[in-house]
Chains A and B, each alone.
Chain A
Amino acid sequence: QQQVKQSPQSLIVQKGGISIINCAYENTAFDYFPWYQQFPGKGPALLIAIRPDVSEKKEGRFTISFNKSAKQFSLHIMDSQPGDSATYFCAAKGNTPLVFGKGTRLSVIA
């Protein structure tokens, strides 16, 4: 039983384009939704996070959009750069430890 479903599995974006990664969840008790970025051989690093009292949060080129009624949230990376090439994980938690999606491998090509 996968509590957080993430798509797509992999994504190729041209430099300067917009990368969009989507996640859906089932557990309505979740109240914290972070995104993590992971480079090969490294640990996941917190990128940006949102709580369900807002529908959007922006930090630099990274934006989370949150749709509480649809139980979906997404990560948008504007002006994608080759340095953004990494694996991105969505996650969710309520009063339980973080539950992760399976990840999206993003490749930004010049």
Chain B
Amino acid sequence: NAGVMQNPRHLVRRRGQEARLRCSPVKGHSHVYWYRQLPEEGLKFMVYLQKENIIDESGMPKERFSAEFPKEGPSILRIQQVVRGDSAAYFCASSPGQVFEAFFGQGTRLTVV
């Protein structure tokens, strides 16, 4: 009965490289949410996806960031040409539907050097 699985747990990238963060939701959950957390800050919503569809991306920067949740496989948050300001913890959550509780993964801590 696995919860939300995120990998890698820690990721180090040099400025200008690409970062790929993966999230496998709870089995049977078709809704995935990505949040970003900076030190001493709350979680900031980035994007909400259902299988093969982006429902709400209002919190995601327009450039360099993209997300997908394919029919098969995990959800991917992709950050191109990373900059130091992208360093943060990125959390994924899943739910069986929009009105249900969301369960969070352990996060991926991205460090850009």
Contacts and interface: CB of A to CB of B under 8 A. Distances in A.
Interface of A: 6, 32, 34, 36, 41-46, 49, 89, 95-103
Contacts of A101: 42
A98 B33 contact: yes
Nearest to B46: A97
A46 B56 CA distance: 22
Interface string B3-23: 010100000000000000000
B54 interface: no
A102 B42 contact: yes
A96 B56 contact: yes
B106 A95 contact: no
Interface stretch (B63-71, B80-88, B97-105): B97-105
Contacts of B102: 46, 97-98
30 contacts: A32-B99, A34-B101, A41-B106, A42-B106, A43-B6, A43-B91, A43-B104, A43-B105, A43-B106, A43-B107, A44-B43, A44-B91, A45-B104, A46-B101, A46-B103, A49-B101, A89-B42, A89-B43, A95-B98, A96-B56, A97-B33, A97-B102, A98-B33, A98-B45, A98-B93, A99-B45, A102-B41, A102-B42, A103-B40, A103-B42
Most chain-B Cβ atoms within 10 A of its Cβ — which of A36, A44, A97? A97
Interface in B33-88: 33, 35, 40-45, 48, 56
Most chain-A Cβ atoms within 10 A of its Cβ — which of B4, B42, B43, B98? B42
Nearest to A102: B42
Given A43-B107, A89-B43, A102-B42, A97 B101 contact: no
A46 B91 CA distance: 14
A102 B99 CA distance: 23
Contact of B56 (A36, A43, A44, A97): A97
Nearest to A43: B104
A45 B98 CA distance: 18
B6 to A, nearest CB: 8
Given A49-B101, A98-B45, 11 more contacts: A43-B104, A43-B105, A43-B106, A45-B104, A46-B101, A97-B102, A98-B43, A98-B93, A99-B45, A100-B44, A102-B41
